[in-house]
């Protein structure tokens, strides 16, 4: 186990400082409906009404409670590395408001407390009670781990006891499961601190009951007399990943966030129980996503219809959904697969999503957010093409369905949980962030300017000589012969296994490890089966995917193509977008002059050489509204 991890990193410090200084207080105001000209949240008001402290009806979506829980979780994690008594008091106040709404039997969901408890647990398919419960459990575990305070944990345990009494295959219980998964991995986080086998068994029950015949959701729908929204859809129960038992599933289908939340819970249960069949199901689903259904940014969910996966290699850039929560879900899934088995491909995807598809969801000032993360944008199309109405050319202040902003906060605030792992044989370093790692009597002080530079320096601190492996991930983007490792200035004996370079020796205080990764602009091409990217290329620098913006390259980016000889240059620009490495390459632009009176003509386009300026994808749309493109013609 990791005893402690401290992040002190030039890249991530600035982002996480924004979370503390701007994101947390801004989102607290949003939850209290105090952001002018933004959609109201209703969250805190709902809990006050449910607790009898205020009168009125339920506001917002049926799953609105979850936003409060995610904010509490994110705020709690910031206290670990940025203690703030004032913020802790605000969290305690929020917890008391939540606790006051809990019913005597442990039930807690403001939608049904306000609208009628007689209807609770009657619409598991669509009404998110177990989803809200899952987020509450996650928040409770985080706050307890950081502060030692049990108030919210006791609320969560009482709610879980109520759920244990309600669900199961025994007579008198409901043989149901959530329409929107998350409670599965939440219960596993709870199990990690309680070691209560009931919590593990409940998580396994929700996973194994899903998709069993007769299908619970069908019977529930008949009882309710409720129209099934996906009745005539190609999804039907695939939307919920409930079309068959999870152990039989081979493709990632349906709502992308629900899918990866479910798979994360499956991986956790497989790890805790040693269930090989369930682990193999996770591997199959992982391979399907990462080899056929994931964007270069780590985004998933190619269709606005159902916020969903579609079919293999269907990855449109301009109508993509790519919900921020889905990229976050990929980080969750990757992290749990790493706990299941140490393979570099999981950490590669975790890194890809973190540096691209996740942080793109938040403006650099921490006050505006993307729900959808496109790879190609024409502002006029966003405004006038109905099929692109979900794509926004600029981030929004808030959303009526605001799942993404607090989700970003809770992930960024908890990055310490993603850096490394230990087992009985090795300390595994997954992500290269500056700071300090302590595990099993050994600590590593890490210094790096990654991802802008490829040099990582690690100094070993031990009280006495320690013999064990230190395993360093060799990123998948780094080719053969493009990395090297030295110890105390000399070449070292290395065993490369599953994407990790293992260093085995007796470590002494002051030993220095150097990892050098070759950072250079890389031209990336998609599998030819990805129709939308045929004849195009993207640029990547280390883990960062780059894009062209109108702000640097002018409009009509569709008329731009890469030159055969790129003459690529990476340049540090400290005053641009908070400080970035920008890329410059040679390109060609088709001249638009002479086409004013023509729509079609038998003529070759005239081209002129230009110098293209590329910025990291995560930082796009921070300089006003304009065109953007990741994939560019060759």
**Would you name the residues annotated as active-site residues?**
307, 403
Give the torsion sign (CA, 317, 323, 325, 329). negative
Distances (CA, A) of 596 to 379, 553, 593, 604: 21, 21, 7, 15
DSSP characters over 25-48:
HHHHHHHTT-STTS----HHHHHH
Give the torsion sign (CA, 240, 357, 419, 398). negative
Distances (CA, A) of 6 to 81, 113, 438, 501: 7, 41, 9, 23
CB 261 within 8 A of CB 210: no
236: left (phi > 0), else alpha (psi -120 to 50), else beta?
Answer: left
DSSP conformational letter for 21: I
In 3D space, the residue among 278, 281, 120 whose CA is nearest the CA of residue 200 turns out to be 278
Is the preceding omega at residue 92 within 30 degrees of 0, hence cis? no
DSSP conformational letter for 311: S
Alpha carbon distance 210, 238 (integer Å): 11
What is the Cβ-side half-sphere exposure of residue 281, based on CA atoms within 13 angstroms? 24
- Contacts for 285 with CB less than 8 Å, ≥ 6 apart: 249, 250, 251, 252, 259, 263
Alpha carbon distance 99, 108 (integer Å): 9
DSSP characters over 471-507:
EEE--TTS-TTSEEEEETTEE---EEETTEEEEEEEE
CB 378 within 8 A of CB 361: no
DSSP conformational letter for 19: I
Alpha carbon distance 587, 604 (integer Å): 17
**3-state SS class at 336:** helix
In 3D space, the residue among 158, 73, 65, 145 whose CA is nearest the CA of residue 113 turns out to be 65
CB 432 within 8 A of CB 415: no
Q: Which residues pair with 330 in a beta bridge?
A: none
Alpha carbon distance 470, 513 (integer Å): 10
Angle separating helix axes 197-209 and 183-194, nearest 10 degrees: 160
Distances (CA, A) of 386 to 315, 321, 390, 400: 19, 14, 8, 20
- Give CA torsion, residues 325, 331, 337, 341, to 10 deg: 180
In 3D space, the residue among 498, 496, 470, 464 whose CA is nearest the CA of residue 483 turns out to be 496
Alpha carbon distance 27, 84 (integer Å): 16
Composition of the chain by helix, strand, coil, percent to 5: 40, 20, 40
CB 461 within 8 A of CB 445: yes
């Amino acid at each position: 186990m990791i005893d402690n991890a401290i992040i002190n990193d030039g890249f991530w410090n600035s982002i996480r400082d924004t979370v503390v200084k701007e994101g947390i207080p801004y989102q607290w105001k949003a939850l209290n409906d105090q952001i002018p000209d933004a959609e109201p949240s209703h969250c805190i008001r709902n809990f006050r009404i449910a607790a009898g402290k205020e009168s009125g009806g339920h506001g917002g979506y049926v799953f609105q409670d979850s936003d409060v829980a995610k904010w509490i979780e994110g705020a709690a994690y910031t206290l670990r590395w940025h203690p703030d008594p004032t913020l802790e008091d605000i969290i305690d106040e929020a917890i008391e408001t939540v606790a006051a709404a809990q019913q005597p039997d442990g039930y807690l969901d403001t939608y049904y407390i306000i609208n009628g408890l007689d209807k609770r647990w009657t619409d598991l398919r669509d009404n998110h009670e177990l989803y809200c419960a899952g987020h509450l459990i996650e928040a409770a575990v985080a706050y307890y781990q950081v502060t030692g305070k049990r108030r919210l944990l006791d609320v969560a345990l009482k709610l879980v006891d109520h759920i244990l009494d309600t669900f199961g295959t025994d007579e008198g219980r409901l043989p149901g499961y959530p329409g929107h998964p998350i409670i599965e991995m939440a219960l596993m986080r709870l199990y990690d601190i309680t070691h209560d086998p009931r919590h593990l068994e409940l998580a396994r029950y929700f996973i194994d009951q899903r998709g069993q015949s007769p299908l619970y959701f069908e019977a529930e729908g008949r009882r309710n007399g409720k129209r099934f929204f996906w009745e005539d859809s190609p999804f039907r129960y695939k939307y919920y990943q409930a079309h068959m038992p999870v152990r039989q599933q081979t493709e990632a289908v349906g709502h992308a966030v629900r899918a990866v939340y479910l798979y994360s819970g499956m991986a956790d249960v497989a790890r805790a129980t040693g269930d090989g069949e369930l682990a193999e199901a996770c591997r199959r689903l992982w391979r399907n996503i990462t080899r056929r259904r994931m964007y270069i940014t780590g985004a998933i969910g190619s269709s606005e219809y159902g916020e969903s996966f579609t079919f293999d290699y269907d990855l449109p850039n301009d109508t993509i959904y790519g919900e921020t929560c889905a990229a976050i879900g990929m980080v969750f899934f990757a992290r749990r697969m790493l706990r299941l088995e140490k393979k570099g491909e999981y950490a590669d995807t975790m890194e890809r999503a973190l540096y691209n598809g996740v942080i793109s969801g938040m403006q650099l000032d921490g006050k505006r957010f993307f729900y959808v993360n496109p790879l190609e944008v024409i502002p006029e199309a966003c405004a006038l093409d109905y099929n692109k109405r979900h794509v926004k050319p600029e981030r929004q202040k808030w959303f009526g369905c605001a799942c993404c902003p607090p989700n970003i906060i809770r992930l960024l605030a908890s990055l310490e949980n993603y850096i490394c792992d230990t087992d009985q044989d090795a300390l595994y370093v997954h992500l290269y962030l500056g700071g300090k790692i302590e595990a099993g009597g050994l600590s590593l002080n890490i210094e790096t300017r990654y991802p802008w530079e490829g040099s990582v320096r690690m100094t070993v601190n031990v009280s006495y000589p320690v013999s064990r492996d230190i395993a360093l991930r060799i990123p998948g983007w780094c080719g053969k012969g493009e990395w090297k490792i030295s110890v105390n200035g000399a070449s070292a004996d290395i065993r490369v296994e599953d994407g990790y370079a293992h260093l085995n020796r007796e470590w002494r205080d002051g030993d220095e490890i150097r990892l050098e990764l070759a950072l250079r602009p890389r031209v990336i091409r998609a599998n030819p089966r990805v129709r939308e990217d045929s004849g195009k290329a993207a640029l990547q620098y280390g883990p960062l995917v780059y894009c062209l913006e109108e702000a640097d390259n002018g409009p009509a980016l569709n008329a731009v193509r890469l030159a055969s000889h790129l003459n690529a240059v990476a340049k540090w620009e400290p005053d641009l977008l908070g400080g970035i490495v920008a890329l410059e390459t040679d390109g060609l632009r088709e001249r638009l002059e002479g086409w004013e009176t023509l729509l079609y003509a038998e003529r070759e386009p005239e081209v002129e050489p230009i110098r293209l300026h590329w910025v990291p994808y995560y930082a796009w749309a921070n300089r006003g509204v304009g065109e953007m493109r990741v994939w560019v013609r060759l």
